[in-house]
Chains A and B, each alone.
Chain A
Amino acid sequence: NAGVTQTPKFRVLKTGQSMTLLCAQDMNHEYMYWYRQDPGMGLRLIHYSVGEGTTAKGEVPDGYNVSRLKKQNFLLGLESAAPSQTSVYFCASRESGGSYNEQFFGPGTRLTVL
Chain B
Amino acid sequence: AQTVTQSQPEMSVQEAETVTLSCTYDTSENNYYLFWYKQPPSRQMILVIRQEAYKQQNATENRFSVNFQKAAKSFSLKISDSQLGDTAMYFCAFMRRIQGAQKLVFGQGTRLTINP
User: Number of A interface residues, CB 8 Å?
Assistant: 27
**A105 in contact with B102 (CB, 8 Å):** no
**A41 in contact with B108 (CB, 8 Å):** yes
Interface residues on B, range: 20 to 34
On chain B, the residues within 8 Å of A40 by CB distance are 9, 108-109
**B103 in contact with A90 (CB, 8 Å):** no
**A44 in contact with B106 (CB, 8 Å):** yes
Stretch at the interface among A20-28, A68-76, A77-85, A93-101: A93-101
B102 contact from A31, A41, A108, Cβ within 8 A: A31
- Measured in the bound complex, the distance between the Cα atoms of B108 and A85 in whole Å is 18
On chain A, the residues within 8 Å of B95 by CB distance are 100
**A42 in contact with B97 (CB, 8 Å):** no
| Interface of chain B: mostly helix, strand, loop or mixed | loop
Distance of A65 from chain B, by nearest CB (Å): 18
On chain A, the residues within 8 Å of B99 by CB distance are 97-99
Distance of B36 from chain A, by nearest CB (Å): 12
On chain B, the residues within 8 Å of A108 by CB distance are 43-44
**A99 in contact with B93 (CB, 8 Å):** no
On chain B, the residues within 8 Å of A50 by CB distance are 100-101
**A42 in contact with B101 (CB, 8 Å):** no
**B44 in contact with A43 (CB, 8 Å):** no
Closest to B33 in A: A100
**A42 in contact with B43 (CB, 8 Å):** no
> Which of A's residues lie within 8 Å of B, judged by CB?
31, 33, 40-45, 48, 50, 56, 58-59, 88, 90, 92, 94, 97-103, 105, 107-108
